[in-house]
Amino acid sequence: MTSLIAVLPGDGIGPEVTRAGLAVLRAVAARHALDLSIEEAPFGGAALDALGAPMPPSTRQLCVDADAVLLGAVGLPGPPPPDPALRPEQGLLDLRALLGVYANLRPIRPLAGACEASPLREERLAGVDMIVVRELTGGIYFGDKQEGEDAASDRCAYSRGEIERVVRCAARLAKQRSRRLCSIDKANVLATSRLWRSTASAVVADEFPGLELEHLLVDAAAMRLLTHAADFDVLVTENMFGDILTDEASVLAGSLGMAPSASIGDGGKGLYEPIHGTAPDIAGQGVANPCGMILSVAMMLELSLDSPEAAREIEAAVAAAVAAGARTPDIAGSAPPATTEQLTEAVLARLGGAPAP
Ligand code: IPM
Ligand code: MG
């Protein structure tokens, strides 16, 4: 059966990294005889320009019909327009809600070569291998907003059900990994965090016997990510804390450009996007790091297209290409930097265990 992949390149460096991701997807699809139908659609600022809305009806329908959605990045330089309907980021929030992808998986795995670009000392990075599960369709991102000249507010609300389902997702992952789960909140201040904490405890106690659950305050977690990152395995947290902590955690892998993500819900459908933004400062120069996108393609193959072997091949090819020195400026260190295309070619050359050139 044909799988339909909706591709939304978006803005800034989005189209450049998407091109790289698609080249890799097409290569593994050919090797594994995957039957894919790949359809591109305008999204974000690009769609605002062309069709007057960040998620035009035709794009929305394509995403509803698709088995998986691959997204570059959205956002426009400059101050956000006052009307939310005209903000590229609103399109992204609407898409996440539309697809019901409440769990956003963000693995952080430093690769040899890339992590040398990290400002953190090498011993801080040894043994780091974590996955952050960020709640993606609730909390302050989606609460009622009041915006006046002199006062503004954003409501943060969570229901028990919203917390239970994302904690379950994280606990299932932890069960497959080290059997350790760390739930991050601000229960000393926030009511939503106290519900988060008691709900996480109840889910683990009732449904995951043998799983070790630790609760950590978000400020302490932000520090521990820099001092004892290797102690973490699976982390679960609410929407905004997850957004902030994962940009921080990406530094452990050398660069924000290295980090992929998968957003999933109850069905097999998923939304796959690198965690970086549009990087307007380097857009159009052909030097954006495509690894976050290429590794997001790997997550899509594993989680929505039932092709874990293809996913492992991509991960191995990225690791080998980066280790061999194919590194964009963000991870090049003092070595001569590669372009997006050179790094992508280096990955393609290593797919399927082809000998290194
Ligand atoms: C992310 C991004 C988005 C978010 C923005 C672009 C709305 O920062 O995916 O991490 O905050 O969720
Ligand atoms: Mg973010």
Q: Span 114-132, mean pLDDT?
A: 92
Atom from ligand 1 closest to the CA of residue 74: 6
Integer Cα distance of 105 and 177 in angstroms:
14
Which two structure tokens, joined as six digits, stand for 97?
């809600």
> Does residue 186 have an active-site annotation?
yes
No. of helices (H) and no. of strands (E), the chain: 13, 12
> Closest-lying ligand to the alpha carbon of 141?
1
- Residue 354, pLDDT > 60, answer no
Mean pLDDT score of the chain, rounded to an integer? 96
Report the atom number in ligand 1 closest to the C-alpha of 136. Answer: 12
Alpha-carbon gap, residue 257 to 1, rounded angstroms: 33
Percentage of the chain lying above the pLDDT 90 cut: 92
Handedness of CA 326, 332, 336, 341 (dihedral sign): positive
What is residue 179's predicted lDDT score, i.e. its pLDDT?
Answer: 84
Burial of 275 (0-12, 13-18, 19+ CB in 10 A): buried
- In this prediction, residue 116 carries a pLDDT of 86
pLDDT tens by residue, 4-15 = 999 999 999 999
Query: What's the confidence (pLDDT) of residue 82?
Result: 87
User: Which ligand is in closest contact with the Cα of 139?
Assistant: 1
pLDDT digits (tens, 9 = 90+) for 19-71: 999 999 999 999 999 999 999 999 999 999 899 999 999 999 999 999 999 99
Mutate-to-test residue for ligand 1 from 43, 87, 89, highest number of ligand atoms within 8 A of CB:
89
Pocket of ligand 1 (CB under 6 A): 75, 89, 92, 243, 275, 277
Instruction: Kindly give the distance from the C-alpha atom of residue 134 to the centroid of ligand 1, in angstroms, as a whole number.
Output: 11
Integer Cα distance of 112 and 94 in angstroms: 37
How far does the centroid of ligand 1 lie from the alpha carbon of residue 1, in Å? 33
The rounded distance, in Å, linking the Cα atoms of 308 and 262 is: 14
Q: Would the pLDDT of 146 be above 80?
A: yes
Q: Choose one of 76, 92, 132 to mutate for the ligand 1 pocket test, by most ligand atoms within 8 angstroms of C-beta.
A: 92
Is the pLDDT score of 98 beyond 60? Answer: yes
**Quick one: tokens of 99?**
């697809």
Q: How far is the CA of 43 from the centre of ligand 1 (A)?
A: 15
Q: Quick one: average pLDDT of 194-205? A: 98
* 68 touches 306 (CB < 8 A): no
Query: Which residue would you say has higher pLDDT here, 49 or 328?
Result: 328
Return d(Cα 171, Cα 167) in angstroms, integer: 6
Take atom 4 of ligand 1 and give the residue whose Cα is closest: 243
User: How far does the centroid of ligand 1 lie from the alpha carbon of residue 335, in Å?
Assistant: 31
Cα 120 versus chain centre, distance: 22
Distance between Cα 75 and ligand 1 center (Å) = 9
pLDDT in tens, 251-290: 999 999 999 999 999 999 999 999 999 999 999 999 999 9
Read off the pLDDT of each residue in 307-332 and give the average, rounded to a whole number. Answer: 97
Q: Cβ of 54: how many Cβ atoms within 10 Å? A: 29
The per-residue pLDDT for 228 is: 96
150 is catalytic: no
Looking at residue 356, its pLDDT comes to 40
Ligand nearest to the CA of 273: 1
**243 tagged catalytic:** yes
What phi-psi label fits residue 50: left (phi over 0), alpha (psi between -120 and 50 degrees) or beta? Answer: alpha
Please tell me the residue having the least CA distance from ligand 1 atom 7. Answer: 89
pLDDT value, residue 355 = 39
Ligand 1 atom with least separation from CA of 239? 12
Query: What residue type is assigned to position 99 of the chain?
Result: L
Res 84: pLDDT: 86
Biggest distance spanned by C-alpha atoms of the chain: 63
CB atoms within 10 A of CB 189: 12
Query: What is the sign of the dihedral through the CA atoms of 105, 109, 113 and 116?
Result: positive
Q: What is 3-72 written as a DSSP string?
A: EEEEEEEESTTHHHHHHHHHHHHHHHHHHTT--EEEEE---THHHHHHHSSSS-HHHHHHHHH-SEEEEE
**CA pair distance 300, 320, nearest whole angstrom:** 20
Ligand 1: atom nearest CA of 93 is: 7
Per residue in 161-193, pLDDT (tens digit) is 999 999 999 999 999 998 899 999 999 999 999
